[in-house]
């Protein structure tokens, strides 16, 4: 569980940095591009992958993840602009449904009674924790964005699990290739914005991107390590990570950003904690 806790901490830190980016007018796409460059450098420093391994890695799975990572971030940003952060966040969290179904039907995991109970409590917790009165009005067509957020985040989770199970090539080499692909995609999009829309590349965005990259690297690395350490229980990693982010993210939001939390939200946070306990217990007891 230590890898899950470390992944949760890094994930929430990334979310906090992105939230602060808006406050201080940081250009998110520029920061994201430098974030992937930082992840590439860290991958090389810590993993020292062989050139032969890196050139042998590119596959349909690694290429798909590399393209989807920056793409889903831009889709999420578009969703926030069109229908608001509340509904977009709900779509992201409910995407847990996709990897949970994959755990059952793709990875062949057996669900105990405790685990099923934990998942039911967990999905209820997601809805209650993220419930807010949204003031953002949106056209019917705008709801394509949260649908894409729901599908995108869910599919990426499943892809990372499949990558973690691949024993033929070190996953550290796969991660470096994924970061390289994501960097190229982000650089291409940024190039269009700089050349066509005349947006300046600024040093502050580079600095923020380096900091963001350190924690994003940690988030993905520990998430992969958790899946490898708990290979027979992917739903535990999917659910515990999601619930943990909700709990820690809510606490940080209340303390640092003075976010208003309703009674329903507090009940949701408590239920998320209960869900993690049930899912953790299901590792030891089959009911």
What is the domain partition of the chain in residue ranges?
2-281
Tell the residue number behind the tokens 């057996």, with chain if given.
110
Rg of the chain, C-alpha, whole Å: 19
Q: Across residues 176-184, what is the average pLDDT?
A: 92
Instruction: With CA atoms as reference, report the closest residue to 123 among 101, 156, 148.
Output: 101
Residue 66 · residue 180 · CB < 8 Å: yes
- Count of Cβ atoms closer than 10 Å to residue 238 Cβ: 29
Q: Across residues 211-224, what is the average pLDDT?
A: 93
Which pLDDT belongs to residue 57? Answer: 60
Q: What is the mean pLDDT of the chain?
A: 84
Which pLDDT belongs to residue 149? Answer: 87
Residue 153 tokens read as 């985040």
pTM for this prediction = 0.84
Apex CA 35: angle with CA 186 and CA 12, to 5°? 115
Residue 247 tokens read as 């709990």
Residue 270 tokens read as 């408590």
Beta strands in 87-204 (DSSP E): none
Reduced to 3 states (helix: H, G, I; strand: E, B; else coil), residue 87 is helix
- Count of Cβ atoms closer than 10 Å to residue 55 Cβ: 10
Q: Across residues 52-73, what is the average pLDDT?
A: 82
Q: Is the pLDDT of residue 167 over 90?
A: no
Instruction: With CA atoms as reference, report the closest residue to 100 among 237, 2, 224, 223.
Output: 237
d(CA 266, CA 129): 7
Does 51 or 287 have the greater pLDDT score? Answer: 51
Q: Across residues 225-252, what is the average pLDDT?
A: 86
């Amino acid at each position: 569980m230590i890898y899950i806790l470390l992944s949760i901490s890094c994930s929430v830190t990334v979310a906090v940095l992105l939230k602060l980016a808006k406050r201080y007018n940081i250009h998110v796409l520029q920061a994201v591009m430098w974030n992937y460059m930082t992840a590439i450098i860290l991958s090389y420093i810590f993993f020292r992958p062989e050139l032969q391994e890196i050139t042998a890695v590119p596959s349909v799975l690694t290429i798909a993840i590399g393209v989807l990572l920056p793409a889903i971030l831009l889709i999420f940003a578009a969703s926030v602009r069109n229908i608001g952060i509340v509904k977009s966040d709900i779509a992201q969290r409910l995407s847990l449904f996709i990897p949970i179904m994959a755990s059952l039907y793709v990875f062949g995991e057996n669900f105990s009674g405790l685990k099923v109970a934990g998942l039911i409590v967990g999905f209820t917790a997601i809805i209650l924790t993220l419930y807010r009165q949204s003031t953002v009005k949106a056209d019917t067509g705008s709801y394509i964005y949260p649908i894409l957020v729901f599908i995108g985040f869910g599919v990426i989770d499943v892809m990372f699990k499949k990558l973690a199970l691949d024993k033929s090539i070190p996953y550290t080499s796969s991660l470096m290739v994924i970061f390289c692909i994501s960097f190229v995609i982000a650089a291409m999009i940024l190039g269009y914005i700089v050349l066509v829309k005349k947006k300046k590349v600024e040093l502050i965005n580079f600095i923020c991107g380096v900091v963001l990259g350190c924690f994003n690297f940690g988030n993905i690395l520990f998430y992969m390590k958790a899946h490898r350490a708990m290979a027979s229980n992917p739903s535990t990693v999917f659910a515990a990570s999601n619930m943990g982010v909700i709990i820690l993210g809510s606490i940080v939001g209340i303390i640092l950003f003075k976010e208003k939390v309703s009674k329903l939200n507090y009940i949701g946070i408590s239920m998320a904690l209960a869900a993690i306990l049930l899912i953790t217990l299901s590792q030891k007891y089959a009911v």
